[in-house]
Amino acid sequence: MSVCRKCSKRVKAIDLKLCSKCNTSYHYQCIGVLADIFSKESKAHKAAWKCMDCKSSDESVDRVSTPPHNTASTPNPVPQVAVSNEDLKRYIDKKLEQSLAKLLSDITCNFQTESSDTRTKIQELTDCVNFMSTKYDQLAADLEIKSKTIEHLESLNLSLQNQVISLNDRLDHFEQQSRNCNLELQCVPEHKSENLRSIVQQLTTTVGCSLPDHEISKYHRVAKFNRESNRPRSIIVKLSSPLVRDRVLAAVKTFNRTHRNNKLNSSHIGLAGDKKSIFVCEHLSPTNKHLHAVTRKIAKEKNYKFVWTRNGRIYMRKDLNSKSIWIKDADFLNSL
């Protein structure tokens, strides 16, 4: 592979310009031949081509050895133009400047087009962000208002809950007070033709605490707390005062203590058939009755031997040597 005399780089066959006189190789680009002209040159033209040095040498020889031509015999002589390296350099620089100017113009035009599209998209994005920011500020303001409203409602709800608890406590207290003169007779067998007054008088006489008529105000059976229970409905007896009630309860307690093998039952009030135990206790409000049932269950689980009521209050005791505990509510039971 030949080496270009101008740039000292190797010359491919397709780019080769070979001097027919001195056999010196050139890139056709290095000697200022345009690509389209080079591609149209014939083989004969390429074979006869001479480099600038050889052409200059031939012209010098011709000027010395050849007499001047008769200008009259050549009316239209073809001028011989010698291309110097400087001319070639200026030509190439001009072409490069034109190409660079065109390239720069294209780049500028494309950049302006792309820049316009980019600015449009940025403006759309900015508008979208501003819209979202406005909406966010509105939502934040609404959220703050709603948070304050919720906080106020929570505070109000807590206050109302405390009021409801207080009102329920007062209501339960009033309900229990309204029952202070009452006795509840549990597990007394039911009969269609029963005489409740007679049953009450027979029971009080049996335990040794007979009551005159004026001390017994009312008596009736009440609906079952648990309708699926097989136990008979309880009898509520309203007495004249809490003292009369306590006197009957003390008499029943004494009777059962002295008759451990034959505690108060249906045979003591003149009812035939199997003996059914009868229980006499204070008439508790629904809340206290439920608490009493839960207390008895917990006492059984935790081995408390005694559970009783007094004046509407529920008490329990571990054993004879321990102190009595007043059960105020279910939460207190769970803390034991």
Segments making up each domain of the chain, as ranges: 1-60, 104-178, 181-283, 284-336
**pLDDT at site 62:** 57
Strand residue runs (E) in the chain: 2-3, 10-11, 16-18, 25-27, 182-186, 216-221, 235-239, 279-282, 306-310, 313-317, 325-327
Question: In 3-state terms, what secondary structure has residue 123?
Answer: helix
Q: Which of 219, 218, 220, 200 is nearest to 210 (CA)?
A: 200
Low-confidence residues of the chain: pLDDT under 70: 1, 59-83
So what's the pLDDT on residue 72?
A: 46
First CA to last CA across the chain, in angstroms?
A: 109
Taking Cα atoms as reference points, which of 278, 293, 291 lies closest to residue 185? 278
The Cα angle at residue 109 between residues 107 and 112, in degrees rounded to 5: 105
Please list the residues that pair with 310 across neighbouring strands.
313
1-60 adopts what CATH topology? Herpes Virus-1 (3.30.40)
Q: Which CATH superfamily is domain 181-283 in?
A: L1 transposable element, RRM domain (3.30.70.1820)
Nearest of 215, 229, 280 to residue 252 by alpha carbon: 280
pLDDT recorded at residue 155: 94
> Which amino acid, 5?
R
Q: What is the pLDDT of residue 330?
A: 86
Q: What angle do CA 321, 308, 250 make, to 5 degrees?
A: 100
Contact 287, 172 (CB under 8 A): yes
pLDDT reported for residue 28 = 82
